[in-house]
Structure formats: C-alpha cells, structure tokens
Amino acid sequence: MPTSPIFKLPDSIPTPSELAEAWSKVVANAIQLAGAATERSLSPQAPKPFDAAAPARAFGAFAAHLFANPSELLAAQQKAASDWMKLWTNAAARAAGAEAEPVIAPERGDRRFKDPAWDEEPVFDYLKQAYLLTARRAAELIQGAEGLDEATRTKVDFFTQQYLNALSPANFAFTNPEAIRRAIDTGSLSLLSGLANLLADAASDAGLVQRRASEEFELGVTIAATPGSVLYQNALMQLIQYSPTTDEVYRRPVLYVPPLVNKYYLLDLQPKSSLIRWLVEQGHTVFVVSWVNPGPELADMDIADYIKLGPVAALDAIEKATGEREVDMFGFCMGGTLVAIALAYLAAKGEGDRVASATTIGTLFDFSNLGQWAAFTEPEQLRAMERHLLHKGFLASQDLQALFSAVRANDLIWSSVVNHYLMDREAPPSDILYWFADGAHIPRAFLLSWAHDILRGNKLREPGGLVLDGVAIDLGKVETPLTAISLKDDHVSAWTATYDSARLFGGDVTFMLGGSGHNAGVINPPSANKHGYWTNDALPETAEQWLEGAIRNEGSWWPWWQSRLSDGGKAEKVPARVPGDGELAVMEPAPGSYVRNRG
C-alpha cells in the first residue's frame, strides 16, 4: 500500500521561539477566558433565550413512540445491519487492494469531505461512509415514523441534525486528514494556534466561533458604498436617498424595507453585486430604510410602531423629498412581511393608493409551514424567550446569529471550527459573511408580538386577525399589485410556502422563482449570469402546478423585475433628483450612523 501523503515528514520543524510564542498565546487566552468567566459569574445573568430542555423533551416523546411501535425500530436496525455488512465487505476489499464501489457518497454540495484523502485512504473513507450511513438511517427512522405528530417530528429531526453535524469526523483533529496533514506540516503549531483561537472565542461576549478573515470590509468605502444621503430619521430608522447616475429618472421612487435581524446592506454589498447601485444605474430614485440597532430604551416598540415609524413614515418623507405620493415598495424576508402589513394598514385607512406596486423577496405571510423553524415556536421555547426579553429588553444580535447559524451549521459553524481551531487558517474575504456577522437586536415588544401573533398564531392568514392601533390587518383587502419573488433553494422561507402565502392577497399577484438560496439567490447581478429563474403568468392552486407550467430563463432575475418596475422602460421620467433638492435637507452621507452601531 502506498504511503499516504498525510504522513509525509515536514521539510522543517518549528523553532523553540515559534513554539514558545504559540504556547504564550494559549496561556494568555486561557487567562483571558478565566477572567471573563469570573466576571460573568459575578454579574447578573439574563435567563437564556431558549429552552435547554427542548431536545430531551423531543427525544423523550420520540422514544415513547418507538417503544409503542417496536416494528419501526426493528426495521431500521435491519437496514442498518445490511448497511454495515456492505460497508465491512467494502472495507475488506479495499484492504486487500481491490477496487470497491462506495456504499454511500456525500450529497452534492457537502464540502466537509472534499479533501482527496476521504476517498483515497481506506481508513478515512471508512470513517466517512460510516458517518454518512448513520446519518441517513437516523433521518429515515424519523421521517418514516408513522403516526408521530408533525411537531415532534420537526423538533426531533432538527435536534438530530444538530448532533449529527457536530459529530462529523471532519470536526475532530485526529479524524480529519487535512487537519492531520497540517499538524504534521507545522510541527503542531496549527493545533496550538487553533487552541488559542478557541480560548479567545470562548472569552468573547458572543461565545461563538469567530470568522477570521485576512481582509476586513469598511462601511461606506468597500461595502455599503453606493453614494447617497440620509434625509430623515426617527427613533427607529434613518431614510437614505441614493444619488442619481442618470440625467433622467423614473417618476415613481422605489423604497426598500429590509428585515430587522440584519442591516440593510445585503442589497448594497460590493459595487459589482449591489442591487441598490444597479437600480440607481437603471434610472430609479432609490430610498432605503436603515433600521436602528435598538437597546433596552426601545424595549416597548412593537409592530405598530415599526410600521408607522418605518414604511409609513418613509412614504411621508419621500413625498417631501420628491413631491411624489406614489412609490414602488419592496422588502426582503421579514422586511417583505412588514411591507405586506404596511399595505394592509394603509388600505384599511383608505391610503392604499400610496403604493403603486409592491415586491416581496423570500417572504412568508402564511406561517403554517415553518419547517425546521417550528422547533423554536413551541410554548416552552416562547416562554423561555419571554423571560429573557423581560429581563434584557431585547434579543441580542449574537443570539439571533446563533439561531440562524444552527440552521446552516455545517456552513456557518463547523466549517469555521475546522478552519480556525483545527488548522488555524484565515477564511477568504466574504462580503456576505461580513454582513451576516453584522446583526442587529430586536426589541422585546416587537419580538413577543411577532412570535405569538404572527409566527405561532399565524394571524396574518386570518382577515383582521392582527390589529395594530385599532386597525385590522387584512391582506385580502390589499389591491396593490404584488410581485412575489422566491428562491428555489431557500432554507429560511421555503418557496412552496411563500407561494401559498402570496395567494392571500386580494389584488393582482405575480409569482417568480429565482435559483439558489435565501441570500445568494438575491445577490445575483446580471453580469454574473448565474442561477436562472422561472416565470409563469398563471397562479394555480398549488406551487407544484405553478412550477409545472413555468418557463425557465437563464441569468439573473433582476432585469425581469426592473422591467416590471419601469413598465418595460416606458414609465414616465423626470429630471434626476439629487438628495437635498426637495423639502428635506441632507443630514449625513450614506450609509448613515444607524447602520454603524453594532450595539
């Protein structure tokens, strides 16, 4: 058998000074961690925002189900025994020098096992396949459990995936061939430095693995750099107007309402991928709501406050800045849900004509199909969150980041564990991951109402189910034309659920399906010519019927959508508007001060 490249001796070994420096970092960070732990133990701690007993409760219910249905467990054990027999036969053949087809292979896009040694070296190939077989059988056991209530199935599946993700052999120094190779090449310096990184992260307030990149982005310079000005602000938001790049612009301004959980500049990353810059270049006057990063002083701000001081206040400010009463409004994710609530709020007050068209991207209005997110809406979880919010006044961005990271743990947690703790490697610069880490807090009153009334109560589905300041919210009475854009591989808002949601509106609805996932599918400039998108003018009963009749188009959906905003380029135009030319004076340059506050 040939000698594995992971056992190749290094060309050099660390000098005593290099080893001493590495150990010094370990000791220094250990002392820092001890100090942080002492400080935390002496300071009053808010109750945890999650129910720590939830996994035990879910697995207990599943165990009870299996106890009452032993045939399911027996069938799973028989399948597992057959798998292991095939795997052992495969391993024996490889040990004898013969070729053998793998029993199981990683799914497409699973980057944990990309190193060649996972396929070429029999030991690591066996570890990989054993792990994948275990994961597959666990998933099949859960999904095939007949009679198990869906709430328990969802929770058990989610927590099982978390455990399986954590137990991947790629996450451990002695079972990851790439980590072993690097440890040998560096004379163990990679593991010592990785230990120092782990101790430093444990000492931080976030307590999460920190992404270490060789290049940091700078707001207003290399990211969120589209030229513009803040023209208006209140307690909850700043309103940015972007500077024109064309001599004429379309008469109707465009207003973007982002979600609360992240900063607005997902749509204004680097210039080459900025949807905001691209819209400006197409001749639109673009306004953006930049939410404040709230602290405990804003704990009592609820959904009604965010609607009135957010999109509704923005409409008033835009009219003063441009003289235009009508706008085209769009929102992404939770921001799209806020757009929908604002439309219903305005319609109920007889002001629905202020929004000429609305677009929602990756947005739910009907929350009956939450998928894995349902694991966080059970009563015990909501009570834990409520105790935390009553103590602190807001849910911190770090807690929200941990939640979203758990849903994509292999990409957002364990890949960083491997890179920073096992191999001490810096991650390549990523504007989208920089944005993801730059989260925002959510006030107590808003989040409690959102969790109870919208997520769990699903009151947007009921006509008048949600009432804001005495105004009944009824999506069925919204006559504003709606374009609902979804993403085919969206892990946050499943596209089939967003399709069902869009059918709640009373006006004309056009549905479009873009390629890729929740964030990457939105950041899809035409120059990249990626992902593609599906269109269908009909709106049949089910999402599956819609897709069967849809036409697939190549490239980005941005031009398709812009054509709708501009009526194919035929919409009326006016001389370009410069920020500050209207009734509102410039307050400060974009991206403004609210977006810079990390709390």
User: Looking at the annotation, which residues are catalytic?
Assistant: 333
Q: How far is CA 338 from CA 305, 400, 451, 479, 505, in A?
A: 11, 19, 14, 16, 14
Q: Give the separation between CA 268 and CA 246, rounded to whole angstroms.
A: 19
Classified as helix, coil or strand, 465 is coil
Torsion angle of C-alpha atoms 452, 490, 428, 33, degrees rounded to 10: 30
**Could you write out the DSSP letters of every residue in 384-450?**
HHHHHHHHHSEE-HHHHHHHHHHHTHIIIIIHHHIIIIIS--PBPP-HHHHHHHSB--EEHHHHHHI
What are the CB-based long-range contacts (under 8 Å, 24+) for 310-314?
A: 310/236, 310/237, 310/257, 310/338, 310/342, 311/255, 311/257, 311/338, 311/339, 311/342, 312/342, 312/345, 312/346, 313/232, 313/234, 313/237, 313/239, 314/232, 314/237, 314/239, 314/255, 314/257, 314/287, 314/289
Classified as helix, coil or strand, 540 is coil
- Asked whether the beta carbons of 287 and 314 are under 8 A apart, the reply is yes
- Asked whether the beta carbons of 92 and 49 are under 8 A apart, the reply is no
Q: How far is CA 294 from CA 47, 435, 437, 462, 509, in A?
A: 19, 18, 17, 30, 34
Q: Give the separation between CA 213 and CA 503, rounded to whole angstroms.
A: 43
Residue with tokens 């054509």: 563
- Asked whether the beta carbons of 263 and 596 are under 8 A apart, the reply is no
Amino acid at 468: L
* 580 Rama class: left (phi>0) / alpha (psi -120 to 50) / beta: left
- Asked whether the beta carbons of 248 and 573 are under 8 A apart, the reply is yes
Residues 6+ apart with CB under 8 A from 55: 159
Q: Give the separation between CA 370 and CA 521, rounded to whole angstroms.
A: 20
Q: Where are the beta strands (DSSP E) in 16-99?
A: none
- Asked whether the beta carbons of 236 and 292 are under 8 A apart, the reply is yes
Tell me the angle at which helices 379-392 and 54-68 cross, rounded to the nearest 10 degrees. 170
Which residues are 472's β-sheet partners?
A: 467
Phi first, then psi, for residue 463 (nearest 5°) are -60, 120
Closest by CA to 252, choosing from 361, 355, 359, 360, is 355
Q: Provide the token pair at 134.
A: 């275990």
Which residues are 355's β-sheet partners?
A: 327
**Could you write out the DSSP letters of every residue in 177-196?**
HHHHHHHHHTTTHHHHHHHH
Q: Give the separation between CA 247 and CA 69, rounded to whole angstroms.
A: 72
